Amino acid sequence: MNIPTFPFIPGRIARLPELAYNLWWSWQPDAIALFQAIDADLWTEVTHNPVRLLRTVAPERLAAVAQDEVYLARYDQVLADFDTYLQSGNTWFAQTHPRDAETGASSPVVYFSAEFGLHEALPIYSGGLGILAGDHCKAASDLGLPLAGVGLLYPQGYFKQHITPDGVQEAHFETLNPDELPMVPARGPDGRPIVIVVELPGRHVYVKVWHIQVGRVPLYLMDTNVDANDPRDREISARLYGGDQEMRIAQEIILGIGGVRAVRALGLQPSAWHLNEGHAGFLGLERIRTLVQEQGLTFAEAREVVAANTVFTTHTPVAAGNDEFPLWLIDKYFSHYWGSLGLSREEFIDLARHSRPWGPMFSMTMLAMRLASQYNAVSQLHGRVSRQMWHFLWPEVPVDEVPITSITNGVHTCTWLAPELARIYTQYLGPDWEARLDDPATWNGIDHIPDEVLWDVRRALKRKLVDFVRERLRAAWMHGELAPEQAIAEGALLDPEALTIGFARRFATYKRATLLFRDVARLQHLLNRPGRPVQIIFAGKAHPADEPGKAFIRNVYRAAREAGFAGRIVFLENYDIVVARHLVQGVDVWLNTPRRPLEASGTSGQKAALNGVPNLSILDGWWREAYDGQNGWAIGDEAEWADREAQDAADAESLYTILENEVIPLYYARDAAGLPRAWLRKVRQAIRTVAPVFSTHRMVKEYTQRLYIPAATRGQKLAAANGTLKR
Ligand SMILES: *Cc1c(COP(=O)(O)O)cnc(C)c1O
């Protein structure tokens, strides 16, 4: 990576830019502290982006820290850790797959995703799918798995959410300046910056490629904001999930077809290709086209070779999450293309034809399934649902034998764990606990943490959350972005000692954010009992086109303004990684109320649990596998109701009853020392049972052993066989 020069950085701390340009720092509290110590206010102002910090900080500040012995000692330690991390040849992958490790760097798994959620400084994600992709890359880096990410850079990112005093969601976009992001132009083997070309109807679109380094893992992001493109094409990659269907198909052509060309231009020889959701589905077509045109294979032969080492992960049973395009768009964008695959129009469309009540559609999920050979869902229950949902693609086998397996999602522990708790884990689980974090035995040490220590850190984290909320309100008030009546709705009256429940996620209606409000009087009573106050913090964006989702936000926001709720219902604007981090670390209980079985996995509750925040959730997605009767609470049972209204009523009743009879009494039961002993047992059990299993370390190991290695092996065999065949 060619890192730009920063003229004012003193020689003694000359490696700060190197650190800034590797997102390794983003999950290392000591490295973060190194940047923060340069100028704490500026660090907040630049949204924790070290490149912007180094570009804008006063040279005197840099000169000052370069003279500060304490700072320099920390600097030396962080850089020593950084070097150790990058140079260690003794990773999990090197130990378990020594032969693959040797050839790994030149033949990585390439991981395609429409979004990557790595850090707040790179706002190119919308939610769970992107965060999962970011955590996947970080874990691959930790484990030494050779992997390269491929995606799109969205210079205007995903929208920032502002709520009007009436609770109406407004969407704002800010333009990112590539020079201020921790990325550089990607270069090919000849050292020249890469620009690739993709054909769209009647024109060529030029795409440049950026390189972001995530520990050992490179991430390549494509960007159509290139001078040579006409203005509308420069906008193709501008916004994540921003435009209409035509914009969307153009984005997916850049991602899939452009992505394959970028991989080639980078000189990579992937061992396996992983599609994180169907958005990149066109990549299989482009790989087939290359084999047909350059190696003379037939479509059928080429498809077999391509499918052999392609892995596809489906992420949702909800229709809106499964992209599909009307056939007129396919005609418009692919009529120049199917001939080069050796296919007629009908054959091409039949690859992904989905008969819908409103007519035939071209389904990206079906395309991905047809051009892959390994498929997985993201939790056990989601596996079952997906096998039913896609059974029609494998009509010859019984539903249980539909070849869609499941690998349950996890989270990147060090990204989501509060530094305050990380220090305690180091003390009680052993200094090398991070290297053993997916081994359940590592977590037995949780029992050695004294109750007082655990309780103190939990209280401190809640206070930190309340301070964070108040500081945001103060800043918004100062900048004239807050009407006085919004202050209470957005948390001015939060009580750092009250039992605090967090609910933060996308406001899609199946997530039922308003379930708690079915009986307003009962809720008000429950929140306001003397001596046992309860407060609930909501956060989340609705997709700008999702009117019912936006109505849910309006309803919650208006409730938060009502005097009857006494400031104990709060809605935080602009749910993003920063807000998520504070919430999952700072609340006492994590609430989730999806309509079963629509939550494929969910991961925010995993982040909460590893911070000692028990879940109170429907038995859906990951929680159905994690709940053991002791580590949190289950709302409802395993039943799925045909009548939605009846299901909502039953689940709401269960939720109120658990809150009234279990959660609130347990939290407020204190002994003579003022400690909630039984509560802390739940906290420990949540950490112990969730942290090792629902981590991306466990998850990426499973992907490697169950999908990547078999795919790579099969891919090699088939490529070899075809090579022989043709010669
Ligand atoms: C973790 C996370 C998500 C995904 O969590 P869910 O449980 O699937 O809602 C979404 N958005 C942000 C900002 C997150 O950090």
- Three-state SS letters, 619-677: CCHHHHHHCCCCCEEEECCCCCCCCHHHHHHHHHHHHHHHHHHHHHHHHHCCCCCCCCH
- For residue 592, name the pLDDT band (cuts at 50, 70, 90): very high
Q: What is the pLDDT of residues 34-69, one digit of tens each?
A: 999 999 999 999 999 999 999 999 999 999 999 999
Q: Which atom of ligand 1 is nearest to the CA of 505?
A: 9
Render 476-524 in DSSP notation, one character per residue.
Answer: HHHTT---HHHHHHTTTT--TTSEEEEEES---GGG-TTGGGSSHHHHH
Ligand 1 geometric centre to CA of 617 (Å): 15
Six-digit token string for 532: 């046992």
- Could you tell me which of 252, 244, 230, 231 has the C-alpha nearest to residue 115? 252
| 149: three-class secondary structure by DSSP | strand
How many whole angstroms separate alpha carbon 29 and alpha carbon 39?
Answer: 16
Which residues neighbour 355 within 8 Å (Cβ) at sequence distance 6 or greater?
none
pLDDT at 559 over 90: yes
Please answer whether residues 431 and 621 qualify as being in contact, where contact means their C-beta atoms are separated by less than 8 angstroms.
no
- Could you tell me which of 577, 573, 570, 638 has the C-alpha nearest to residue 604? 577
Q: Which ranges of 88-146 would DSSP assign to H, the alpha helix? A: 92-96, 98-104, 128-143
Q: Give me the pLDDT at residue 100, please.
A: 82
Q: What is the pLDDT of residues 497-556, one digit of tens each?
A: 999 999 999 999 999 999 999 999 999 999 999 999 999 999 999 999 899 999 999 999
Q: Which atom of ligand 1 is nearest to the CA of 579?
A: 13
Which residues neighbour 684 within 8 Å (Cβ) at sequence distance 6 or greater?
446, 447, 449, 454, 612
Q: Which atom of ligand 1 is nearest to the CA of 411?
A: 1
Please name the amino acid found at residue 325: F
Ligand 1 mutation target, pool 131, 241, 574, 615, most atoms within 8 A of CB = 131
How many whole angstroms separate alpha carbon 664 and alpha carbon 650?
Answer: 20
Please answer whether residues 424 and 457 qualify as being in contact, where contact means their C-beta atoms are separated by less than 8 angstroms.
yes
Q: What is the pLDDT of residues 322-332, one digit of tens each?
A: 899 999 999 99
- For residue 726, name the pLDDT band (cuts at 50, 70, 90): very low
How many whole angstroms separate alpha carbon 129 and alpha carbon 609?
Answer: 20
Ligand 1 geometric centre to CA of 463 (Å): 22
Rg of the Cα atoms in the chain: 26
Q: What is the pLDDT of residues 368-423, one digit of tens each?
A: 999 999 999 999 999 999 999 999 999 999 999 999 999 999 999 999 999 999 99
Which range, of 133-142, 242-251, 598-607, 634-643, averages the lowest pLDDT?
Answer: 634-643
Ligand 1 geometric centre to CA of 573 (Å): 15
- Could you tell me which of 500, 482, 446 has the C-alpha nearest to residue 608? 500
- For residue 243, name the pLDDT band (cuts at 50, 70, 90): confident
Please answer whether residues 241 and 508 qualify as being in contact, where contact means their C-beta atoms are separated by less than 8 angstroms.
no
Ligand 1, atom 3: nearest CA belongs to which residue?
Answer: 128
Ligand 1 geometric centre to CA of 128 (Å): 4
Q: Give me the pLDDT at residue 449, please.
A: 98
Q: Give me the pLDDT at residue 486, please.
A: 94
Q: Give me the pLDDT at residue 670, please.
A: 98
Ligand 1, atom 1: nearest CA belongs to which residue?
Answer: 604
- For residue 727, name the pLDDT band (cuts at 50, 70, 90): very low
pLDDT at 201 over 60: yes
How many whole angstroms separate alpha carbon 185 and alpha carbon 219?
Answer: 11
Please answer whether residues 182 and 23 qualify as being in contact, where contact means their C-beta atoms are separated by less than 8 angstroms.
yes
Average pLDDT over residues 345-370: 96
Please answer whether residues 270 and 108 qualify as being in contact, where contact means their C-beta atoms are separated by less than 8 angstroms.
yes
Ligand 1 geometric centre to CA of 336 (Å): 39
Ligand 1, atom 12: nearest CA belongs to which residue?
Answer: 127
Q: Give me the pLDDT at residue 558, please.
A: 95
Ligand 1 geometric centre to CA of 127 (Å): 5
- Considering the entire predicted model, what is its pTM? 0.97
Q: Give me the pLDDT at residue 648, please.
A: 94
Q: Which atom of ligand 1 is nearest to the CA of 606?
A: 7
In the block, which residue shows the tokens 């396996």? 272
713: exposed, middle or buried (C-beta count within 10 Å: 0-12, 13-18, 19+)?
middle
Render 351-383 in DSSP notation, one character per residue.
Answer: TTEEEETTEEEEEHHHHHHHT-SEEEESSHHHH
Ligand 1 mutation target, pool 603, 615, 696, most atoms within 8 A of CB = 603
Which range, of 97-111, 171-185, 279-293, averages the lowest pLDDT?
Answer: 97-111
Ligand 1 geometric centre to CA of 133 (Å): 12
How many whole angstroms separate alpha carbon 341 and alpha carbon 298?
Answer: 8
Q: What is the pLDDT of residues 253-263, one digit of tens each?
A: 999 999 999 99
Q: Give me the pLDDT at residue 610, please.
A: 98
Q: Which atom of ligand 1 is nearest to the CA of 575?
A: 13
Q: Which atom of ligand 1 is nearest to the CA of 603?
A: 7
Average pLDDT over residues 694-710: 98
How many whole angstroms separate alpha carbon 292 and alpha carbon 307?
Answer: 14
Q: Which atom of ligand 1 is nearest to the CA of 580?
A: 15
Q: Ligand 1 pocket by C-beta < 6 Å: which residues?
A: 127-128, 131, 505, 575-577, 580, 602-605, 607
Q: What are phi and psi of 379, to 5 degrees?
A: -160, 170
In our burial notation (b when 16+ CB lie closer than 10 A, e otherwise), range 575-596 reads bbbbbbbbbbbbbbbbbbbbbb
pLDDT at 724 over 50: no
How many whole angstroms separate alpha carbon 30 and alpha carbon 119?
Answer: 16
**CB-CB neighbours of 165 under 10 Å:** 14
Which range, of 96-100, 311-315, 574-578, 658-662, averages the lowest pLDDT?
Answer: 96-100
Please answer whether residues 556 and 522 qualify as being in contact, where contact means their C-beta atoms are separated by less than 8 angstroms.
no
Quick one: CA torsion of 691, 692, 697, 698, rounded to 10 degrees? -130
pLDDT, mean over the chain: 95
Ligand 1 geometric centre to CA of 132 (Å): 9
